[in-house]
Amino acid sequence: MASTDLASRARDLARLHDAVLSGSASPAQVRPVVARSWTRMLDLGLDPQARALSDPLPPVELERRRRESRLALVIDEIRELLLSAADASNYLVVVADADGVVLWRSGSPRVRRQADGLGFADGALWTEEAVGTNAIGTALTEGAPVQLFAAEHYEYAQLPWYCTASPIHDPVDGALLGVVDVSGPALTLHPAIQALVTASVRLAEARLRHHHDVGLERLRVSAGPLLTGGGGPLLVVDDHGWVAATRGIVATERVEAPRADRPLAVPGLGLCRPERLRGGWLIRPSSSVSGRPALSAVLDLTTRPATLEVVDDDAGWRTTLSPRHASLVRLIAAAGPTGASVADLSRAIYGDPDHAVSIRAEVSRLRRLLGALLATAPYRLADGVTLHVVDDAHPGP
């Protein structure tokens, strides 16, 4: 929009903001993402007139978070892309972690000084609970990209701003790493900002994937002596279950993240006992179950929390599942060999097909628990896996 159009839109939103938050008749509809967030703020009892300023983290704690964040591997790429735009002198590039703590800010010194007045500084907590409706906090809550303009914010102090944010996930394990955000004065909003933020997230995730591939190659080289000569089938995997090398088995991309305290289910190998290697794990069949690739599992919904047990004589294992993960396992099993798409699962869980990012992240976390019991593209039980669901209607296996 032209600046005059932005000004007009800002005035309309200010009237809408006042009407909704005062309980008066609303002159128009609030966007659904904004309405959901405002409802959460009202339920929390946040005062839109207040200035929810909090002390930023001490420098030592902030530096620790920066060092430990995997976003440190890609912060330079994020900055380079977002600060290369022609209008970068009018905004800030902000990266927050999964807790909503601002780790890095770059950009206009003038806008940075204005942000300091809001408490929008390095080390600040920028969640919905801390500062009301804002793109960083709302993107973390919604698990989806969010753009807010002017009075779509909740606190009056933030009304002169726009902010555009998108969650960034670790392609290695699907974990939410944080949020990339661009913020600036509302009347300087450029229509390309949202596309730039999306591109920066895609670039960062691609670079993280590259870093992971380099790590797998190092593991593959170091495990070389294990792969030569004869012997039974085996896999060499990293700490997240990504396969670096195989011998005597058709290559698979990923298995369950290994743990030293329990067997590992690998269709094609059966139940395996992980053995620690430098930088990864050696996976080969347990002697008691070698040659028995079929796996039987039981999802018990009558327990709280729900449990999933792999049944294989004395080598089986059990894990607990959250209600969301239990629902996903049941839906995936019910889909049969044809499987379920991301859109199918989104409709079943959320009532619409628009939560693809959240579904992919949830299934990725689920695969950290169940590994190769689940196959992807589409989501389905892996070949050789059977699942029985125990619920109130079917109480026995």
According to CATH, what is the number of the domain 3-212? 3.30.450.40
Q: Where in the chain are all domains bearing CATH 3.30.450.40?
A: 3-212
Task: List all residues 6 or more positions away from 228 whose beta carbon is below 8 Å from its beta carbon.
Answer: none
Q: Within 10 Å of residue 140's Cβ, how many Cβ atoms?
A: 24
Distance CA 209, CA 198 (A): 17
Q: Where in the chain are all domains bearing CATH 1.10.10.10?
A: 295-390
Q: Tokens 């959901």 identify what position?
A: 36
pTM for this model (two decimals): 0.71
pLDDT of residue 20: 87
Taking residues 107-132, report their average pLDDT. Answer: 93
Task: List all residues 6 or more positions away from 168 whose beta carbon is below 8 Å from its beta carbon.
Answer: 71, 176, 177, 178, 179, 180, 201, 204, 205
Per-residue pLDDT tens over the stretch 259-292: 876 667 776 776 677 889 988 999 887 654 444 4
Strands (E) across 212-334 are located at 234-237, 243-247, 264-266, 270-277, 280-285, 295-300, 306-311, 317-321
pLDDT of residue 30: 87
pLDDT of residue 367: 81
According to CATH, what is the number of the domain 295-390? 1.10.10.10
User: Could you tell me what percent of the chain has a pLDDT over 90?
Assistant: 56
Among 58-62, 150-154, 214-218, 391-395, the range scoring the smallest mean pLDDT is 391-395
Q: Are 183 and 92 in contact (CB under 8 A)?
A: yes
pLDDT at 394 over 60: no
When comparing pLDDT for 26 and 210, which is higher? 210
* C-alpha dist (Å) from residue 279 to 69, 211, 216, 237, 266: 19, 14, 9, 9, 20
Q: Are 20 and 29 in contact (CB under 8 A)?
A: no
Taking residues 22-31, report their average pLDDT. Answer: 78
pLDDT at 357 over 90: no
Distance CA 43, CA 242 (A): 42
